[in-house]
Structure 1
Amino acid sequence: MQEKSIDRWKSFESIESLRHGICEAIVKSANEAIAKRGRFSIVLAGGNTPKAIYSVLRDLPMNWSKWHIYHGDERCLPVDHEDRNSLMANQVWLNHVDIPAQQVHDIPAELGPVEGAKAYSETLAGAPTFDMVLLGLGEDGHTASLFPNHVVDNSTDAVPVFNSPKPPAERVTVSQNRLNNTHEVIFMVTGAGKQEAVDNWRKGIKIPATLIAPANGVDVYCFEVKVQ
């Protein structure tokens, strides 16, 4: 039986300070993981806040050859579609650093939700415990492509998503269990529109984000939402 999650809430006075704090945490995690295990495995999130963080990371003097990149979810769109999470990460960050191509593991969601999930599950089966997972929070409490009132499938590491309440309707998401198989989780929560989801979370009301409860707990970095 899984123990109650440990949630560490961190409030920031500006979006710049939040981004700086997250970058510092990623760098610290990467350096420690490489020192201990010889590699750093990170799961990326999509969205504007991560985009700004990735653009800062690309200019840092990191040991990029030891980084392994994964994605938490992806939209079932062509690989060159502007709404693909992988395209954004590649354009603002990954194309500018020396991470070996075979260590960047995009979700092949262009294959469709079923085949894309099957292929990514095979990729994740060969991956160790993640070192860090980055996640966002939707106004409805969703994270990755785990949505309210959707059955959570934990039968494989990556699962298909149909009828998403946010377009496009078809997606691939890493499963709850696989996202919990990590040493660290950072939620990035920005914008007053997330207040209801945060309030529900802090009251103990179950939302999709609360499914992510690894043994070490999660860190929630907040801007423009009250956490008192």
Structure 2
Amino acid sequence: MGEQMIRFIRFDSTGAVAEETARRISAAARRAIALRGRFLCVLAGGRTPLTAYDRLVHQPEDWAHWHLFLGDERCLAPDDPERNSRAIASALTERVPIPSVNLHWIPAEAGAESAARRYDALIATQMPFDLILLGMGEDGHTASLFPGHETPADVRAAPVHEAPKPPPDRVTLTPLALAAAPERLILVTGAGKREALAAWRRGADLPVARVAALGRTDVLMDPDAAGD
């Protein structure tokens, strides 16, 4: 595994990135359900992923067999609009008939340590995933794996404190969990991501680069992020 497993794919617009993301999620779901009767997908928050989820709402999916997980979550109240689970509910899960027992959200309102322990135990019984969807921050972070932060190697979910962007307390999947899928999609859109994306492609040791190198990963970019 390594660079040969990572493909950087440029699209004509942010909307095209979202459209392709929805298409790939749908295709992965149909493959997984045909093979083993269920689809396990790790979702990301962020504007472009949410746009992709909105497109999925209008497709005839086998929703009863979808199981959804989160790459990270913020330690906020469950109904806080800054929670990834809340944003995904508004964009997708409140609009389609996915059974509530199939929504495996991080209980981050319990505090980072407790939530991480509980989520680690949960996903240990579910992995491997079929597809992992991630974004990238302007500093090259992905999920809540931030530059300069140590991540334990022996757990699947870890608490995060003193995150460089609010809120400071979070829970994130670790590389041990993010490696547990045959494919990862990383969405990189917007001019604010251009510098970090360029640094990554030059070989900078960023969290997103380390996660992408875990296995087959496609990076879907819009023109603003990709630059020239």
> Same-fold call, TM > 0.5?
yes
Instruction: Give unmatched runs, 5+ long, in structure 2.
Output: none
Runs (4+) of structure 1 exceeding 4 A deviation are none
Structure 2 partner of 1:113: 112
The amino acid across from 1:137 in the alignment is M
Structure 2 partner of 1:91: 90
Instruction: Give unmatched runs, 5+ long, in structure 1.
Output: none
The amino acid across from 2:99 in the alignment is P
Using the TM superposition, give the Cα deviation of residue 225 of structure 1 relative to its aligned residue in structure 2, in angstroms: 2.1
Using the TM superposition, give the Cα deviation of residue 154 of structure 1 relative to its aligned residue in structure 2, in angstroms: 2.2
The amino acid across from 1:81 in the alignment is D
Structure 2 partner of 1:147: 146
Q: What pairs with 1:5-154 in structure 2 (closer than 5 Å)? A: 5=3, 6-154=5-153
The TM-score normalised by the length of structure 1 is 0.95
Partners of 2:215 and 2:208 in 1: CA distance? 15
Identity across matched positions, percent: 40
> Residues 196-218 of structure 1, C-alpha deviation per residue, up to 9 Å, x if partnerless?
11111111111000121466410
The amino acid across from 1:217 in the alignment is R
Partners of 1:226 and 1:214 in 2: CA distance? 19
Partner secondary structure for residue 58 of structure 2:
coil
> Residues 10-36 of structure 1, C-alpha deviation per residue, up to 9 Å, x if partnerless?
111112211111111111111111111
Partners of 2:63 and 2:119 in 1: CA distance? 23
* Pair 1:137–1:57, CA change in 2 (3 A): same
Partner secondary structure for residue 34 of structure 1:
helix
Moved more, 213-222 or 156-165: 213-222
Using the TM superposition, give the Cα deviation of residue 95 of structure 1 relative to its aligned residue in structure 2, in angstroms: 1.2
Structure 2 partner of 1:4: 2
Partner secondary structure for residue 69 of structure 2:
strand
Partners of 1:213 and 1:192 in 2: CA distance? 21
Partners of 1:54 and 1:36 in 2: CA distance? 23
* Pair 1:214–1:149, CA change in 2 (3 A): closer
Q: Is the 8 A contact 1:109 1:172 kept in 2?
A: yes
* Pair 1:51–1:213, CA change in 2 (3 A): closer
Moved more, 164-173 or 54-63: 54-63
Structure 2 partner of 1:159: 158
Partner secondary structure for residue 212 of structure 1:
helix
Moved more, 132-141 or 210-219: 210-219
Q: Is the 8 A contact 1:182 1:214 kept in 2?
A: no
Partner secondary structure for residue 17 of structure 1:
helix
RMSD: 1.3
Partners of 2:58 and 2:84 in 1: CA distance? 20
Q: Is the 8 A contact 1:181 1:214 kept in 2?
A: no
Partners of 1:216 and 1:173 in 2: CA distance? 19
Using the TM superposition, give the Cα deviation of residue 7 of structure 1 relative to its aligned residue in structure 2, in angstroms: 1.0
The TM-score normalised by the length of structure 2 is 0.95
Partners of 2:214 and 2:72 in 1: CA distance? 22
Structure 1 partner of 2:172: 173
Moved more, 18-27 or 72-81: 18-27
The amino acid across from 2:226 in the alignment is K
Structure 1 partner of 2:207: 208
Partners of 2:122 and 2:23 in 1: CA distance? 28
Q: Is the 8 A contact 1:107 1:120 kept in 2?
A: yes
